[in-house]
A and B are shown apart, each in its own frame.
Chain A
Amino acid sequence: MNKASLTKHFAAAALASASILSATAAMAGEITVWCWDPNFNVAIMKEAGARYTATHPDTTFNIVDFAKADVEQKLQTALASGTTDALPDIVLIEDYGAQKYLQSFPGAFAPMTGKVDYSGFAPYKVQLMTVDGETYGMPFDSGVTGLFYRRDYLEQAGFKPEDLENITWNRYIEIGKEVEAKTGHKMLTLDLNDGGMTRIMMQSGKEWYFDNDGNLNIEKNAALKAALEAQVTAVKDGIVRPATGWTDYVAGFTSGDVASVVTGVWITGTIKAQADQSGKWGVAPTPRVDIDGSVNASNLGGSSWYVLESSKEKDEAIDFLNEIYAKDLDFYQKILTERGAVGSLLAARSGKAYQEADPFFGGEQVWQKFSDWLAQVPPVNYGIFTNELDTAVTANLPSLQNGTPVDDVLKAIHDQAETQIQ
């Protein structure tokens, strides 16, 4: 055998084995998943995939980690162009965007009514993924919020954990001023270019950018008004460390710079990633806005898994989600304690992980607390224009800071929003 024919043989063999490999891979079903946040969604999906592979050895998972904005952009581009090859089998979508995708790309997502027992999930989650009586997707985590604070800093300033129970934002700002005066630490880090804080505050006041009929609800929205005023007061009173962008925001509290952070429970994984701060943190209820009917509970984000209608592995993907996310209670205990994921499967809440005390938070039963607050989160209609409204709010916040009366600012937000939501 001369050299040339040997090479040929090798090439043929390589080609053949490659095609065999790809054929078996296709038959076994590789499920591709797009999601964001390596500490949270990605890690949780890997765990879920490993559990499914244990009982279905032929199924493999390809979990792709993007930034959230990239997932959304790629999804939107692929859906718009109609090139379904580029799409994954399962994609993670944040709750605020669910209706937007379902309504503007009809037929793109696989309906799962009848395949999944939705009665086991928190009703608000199911409602978010239902269009015209058809339900899509697998409800995943809740974004129930809490006030995470540094015990040590608050103690130095003379406050006990009880002092943070069920307070208003005004009280929170007063405490912040004391903390700043006595410890030199700012009370919170705030990115005024991000609408998240406004949404947390507004939802605790039982309102949203839209009323239940989907009409704009800005100028008479007392909760929104209070939310804007509270943020500007916090900045003016000097208790805020301004942040530009997410990385900077996270660095604010992970570095030990600021004394507290008010956000969704999903941040727990990020906070606990700082092992040296163990025992120094505590959790209290979300402050409420100073209006009648406001509660000490709110929500930020939360997301769900959706299967693409075009997926070759559609049935397998649905079966996988159903088996792990709708039935595996032990899975929920694990992702709760390891990642701080408060799932929306109601049965999972009776698990013993919810009763456990967490030494990182000074031995408090934090999961039980979040579970209780979750039940109090006021349901609101998120509608389909969260990004547009966020932009309108952040664009007009600086003028409120510069002394424009709040009613004029609300009018400006309303006017900007009106042209954006056609």
Chain B
Amino acid sequence: MASARRGSLKRYYDVNGWLFVTPALILIAIFLFYPILRSLSLSVYSGRGMMMKFAGFGNIVRLWNDPVFWTALGNTVTFFVIQVPIMIMMALILAAVLNNPQLKLKGLFRTAIFLPCVSSLVAYSILFKSMFAVDGIVNRILETVGIIDAPINWLTDPFWAKVLIIIAITWRWTGYNMIFYLAALQNIDKSVYEAARIDGVPSWRRFLHLTIPMLKPVILFTTITSTIGTLQLFDEVYNLTEGKGGPANATLTLSLYIYNLTFRFMPNFGYAATVSYVIVLMVAILSFLQFYAARERK
């Protein structure tokens, strides 16, 4: 016991070991810790461009009174509350279907569903923009089928713009999450399903009571990464709305607001840093809640 501890301590004091990790540590310090600390110190400053002054809690007071911030926060929360569950459910169902050994052309389907998340962001945004234009193909199909009478203003109506963003990110990221489930499903022992089938458990109950509980750790992982991803949602909104988060700030997200505060509006790096810490805080709280909800109960 004592020698084992001495051994680990020896390793701790071993210069060679430290030399090996030093380059990585230096890089992490410069590109991870320094920005974190610097942005934290920035968040107590405020001012125009380079003319920064110490503001104390000034930025937090401003945040509290800022209607645009609350709109952005509301939009961001709306996006993940609606989009993440839809996407996780769809990914689960798709994974279960594609895991079916009897299914033909599995590889093709898997590739097709995974493909969106490796496609170019800008290309897909432009494609979505033309597809969802007032005289675009989506409206035309919906009209031909008879679901709608008048074309939907996907990009100019505040409500439909939100729906469009949700459709866009669901399209892009469902396949990505599905791959995790597929990988996890491959690891589940087939005999579990066989036993259930012999016992006469219908397939939907096998999905609900076997697949989902066994995938719990993976579901937790994908929920957290998706939540973080949605909280940082930027590219889709930026490209689909020409960087404005319009119409009527309906698709403005926190990340886009940070961008606007730094690059489009009068640059106020301090206030932007404060808003970015709101995202940090939310990610921390939500991840904690999700871990808590998914904990092993005795």
Which residues of A come within 8 Å of B, CB atoms?
A: 69, 72-73, 76-77, 79-80, 100-101, 103-106, 192-193, 242, 244-246, 248, 384-385, 387-388, 391, 394-399, 415-416, 419-422
Contact = CB atoms under 8 A, between A and B. Distances in A.
B13 to A, nearest CB: 40
Contacts, number: 99
Given A419-B67, A421-B266, A398 B49 contact: no
Given A244-B155, A244-B156, A420-B68, A398 B247 contact: yes
Interface residues of B, number: 36
A420 B242 contact: no
B149 interface: no
23 contacts: A73-B264, A77-B263, A79-B49, A80-B49, A80-B262, A101-B49, A104-B49, A104-B51, A242-B156, A244-B129, A245-B242, A248-B133, A385-B266, A387-B264, A388-B266, A391-B68, A394-B246, A394-B247, A395-B68, A395-B246, A396-B248, A415-B67, A421-B266
- Choose among B249, B260, B268 the residue with the greatest number of A CB atoms under 10 Å from its CB: B249
Contacts of A399: 248
B243 interface: yes
A414 B66 CA distance: 12
Say what secondary structure dominates the interface of chain B: loop
B110 interface: no
Interface in B56-99: 62, 65-68, 71
B50 A104 contact: yes
A419 B65 contact: yes
Nearest to B241: A193
Contacts of B263: 72-73, 76-77
A385 B247 CA distance: 20
Interface of B: 46, 48-51, 62, 65-68, 71, 129, 133-134, 153, 155-156, 158, 241-244, 246-249, 260, 262-269, 271
Contacts of A248: 133
A104 B247 contact: no
Nearest to B71: A395
A104 B267 CA distance: 8
B243 A242 contact: no
A364 B271 CA distance: 52
A240 B156 CA distance: 13
Contacts of B249: 391, 395
A246 B242 contact: yes
- Choose among B49, B51, B156 the residue with the greatest number of A CB atoms under 10 Å from its CB: B49
Given A242-B134, A415-B67, A387 B265 contact: yes
The 5 closest A-B pairs by CB, nearest first: A104-B49, A193-B246, A104-B48, A398-B248, A244-B155
Contacts of B51: 103-104, 106
A397 B248 CA distance: 7
Contact of B265 (A79, A103, A105, A420): A420
A96 to B, nearest CB: 12
B9 to A, nearest CB: 43
Contact of B264 (A72, A80, A397, A415): A72
Contacts of A105: 49-50
Nearest to A100: B266
A95 to B, nearest CB: 16
A395 B242 contact: no
A419 B62 contact: yes
Nearest to A394: B246
A245 B243 CA distance: 10
Contacts of B266: 100, 104, 384-385, 387-388, 421
Given A193-B241, A244-B133, A103 B48 contact: yes
B49 A394 contact: no
A76 B134 contact: no
Contacts of B129: 244-245
A5 to B, nearest CB: 37
B247 A106 contact: no
B156 A76 contact: no
A106 B48 CA distance: 10
A397 B244 CA distance: 14
Contacts of A79: 49-50
Contacts of A72: 263-264
Contacts of B248: 394-399
Contacts of A395: 68, 71, 246, 248-249
Nearest to A388: B265
A224 to B, nearest CB: 17
B138 to A, nearest CB: 14
